[in-house]
Amino acid sequence: MIDIDAVRAQFPALHQDVYGKPLVYLDSGATSQKPVAVLSAMDDYYRRDNANVHRGVHALSARATAAFEDARAAVRDFLGATDAREIVFVRGTTEAINLVANSWGRSVLRPGDEILLSGMEHHADIVPWQLVAAATGAVIRPVPIIDDGTLDLDAYAALLSPRVKLVGLVHVSNALGTVNPVAQMTAMAHAVGARVLVDGAQATLHVPVDVVALGCDFYAFSGHKVYGPTGIGALWARRSLLEEMPPWQGGGEMIRHVTFEETVYAGVPAKFEAGTPNIAGAIGLAAALRWLTALGREAAFAHEDALLRYGTARLTAIPGLRLIGTAPQKVGVLGFVLAGIHPHDVGTILDQHGVAVRTGHHCAQPVMARFGVPATTRASLAVYNTTAELDRLGEAVEAAIRLLGR
C-alpha cells in the first residue's frame, strides 16, 4: 500500500501553482519528476566527488569511479541481469537503439534480410532501422495493430521466417499504454533465428522487467522516464553479442592501445562508452532505481493500475471523448480525442487549469495513422498521482468542451 502523501512529499516540483492553480502533472510519459533522493545523490557527487572516472589515481577519481560502477550494478539488478558487463551506459533509449542498429545491424544485415517492427514503435525504433536498411539492403516490415490497440499475433507469426534477422518491439506503447507479450514474441522470433531488441523506455516505470525471463537479446531504457535524470540510460545486451559487435564511436576510454597503424579496443562494456560519460547522470539513475525498489515496485504498479482504472472510467463518461488504446493489458496512459476539437487546443485549456498533459503524435505517427487521428491528448500516470488529480483532469476536459465544443 502506497502512502501517497509521503511519496508526493519527496517530489519538490509537484508543489507549485500554475496559473494560480495547484499543478497536476500528468506528463510522466514524456519525463517523470525526480525525488529528493535523486537530486541529493547528484548534488553530493558534484559537491564532493567530482572527478573523471577510470583514469585518475587520486582519491576523488577513485570515489567517482566506484560510484559510477556501483550505478552499473544497480542497473544490472533492476533489470534482473546477471553480469554488470552487459550494461552499457548511453544517453537514453534512442542512443541505445542507434548503437545496436549501427554496430550490430550494419555488421550483420545483408540485402534481402528482414527487420520486423511493431506497428506501435516510437520513431526512435523506426528511423535508425530505416537508415541501416538503406545502407545494407535490408527490408522493414511492420506488425499490424488490431482495433483495441494490441498487436496482431497471427500476422506476426505469418511474417516470421528465416529471412527475419531482427524484431524491434516496444515493451509498453507510449501512445497506447499497451503492454506487449515480449516473452512470447521473443520465443517466436528465436524459433526462426532472429534477434530481439526491446524498447523499454515506458516499461521500467510501470511493469516489472526481468531480461532473463523475457529472453530478449537487447533491452534499452531511459533514466528520465523512471524518476532519474535526463541524458542517461542503459542498453542491456547479451555479453556474447557485445563481444562480437564492433565499436560504434571511437575515442578515449574505449581502447586498450592506440598507434597510428592500429587500435586495440577495450573489453565490454568500455568498448561502447567512448569519452567522458555522464557520471552524475549514472549516479542519479542508480538513486532513482533504488528509490523505486525501496518504495516497492509491485505496490507502485498496483497504485498506478488503480489510477488507470479510475481515470478510464472518469474520462469515458465524458460525452464525445474517444479513448485511443483499450488493450486488456495496458498501463498508465490515457490517450484521447474529443469530437471536433484539436488536441493542441485541449492541451492549452488544460494548462490554464494547471493540468500538464502531452498533445501531439507522441513520436508515434504510424499509431496515429492506424487510428485515423492526427494527434491525441495524452495523460500519463506515475506513482505520485492521485484520483483527485484525475478528477481535476476530467473537470478541465469538460471545461474545454464547454469553451471549444462545436
Catalytic residues, by residue number, are 363
- Positive/negative CA dihedral, 167, 91, 283, 206: negative
Quickly tell me which residue has 521466417 as its cell.
161
Q: Are 117 and 168 in contact (CB under 8 A)?
A: yes
Q: How far apart are CA 140 and CA 143, in angstroms?
A: 10
Q: How far apart are CA 282 and CA 378, in angstroms?
A: 29
Backbone angles phi, psi at 313, to 5 degrees: -65, -40
Q: Identify the three-state secondary structure at position 377.
A: strand
Letter string b/e over residues 62-98, b meaning 16 or more CB atoms within 10 A of that residue's CB: ebbbebbeebbebbbebbebeebbbbbbbbbbbbbbb
Q: State the CB neighbour count (10 A cutoff) for residue 264.
A: 9
Q: Which of 86, 167, 180 is nearest to 125 (CA)?
A: 167
Q: Identify the three-state secondary structure at position 269.
A: coil
Q: How far apart are CA 201 and CA 180, in angstroms?
A: 13
Between the alpha carbon of residue 15 and those of residues 11, 40, 180, the distances in Å are: 8, 18, 34
Helices (H) and strands (E) counted in the chain, each on its own, are 15, 17
Length of the chain: 406
Cis peptide before 269 (omega within 30 of 0): yes
Q: Identify the three-state secondary structure at position 45.
A: helix
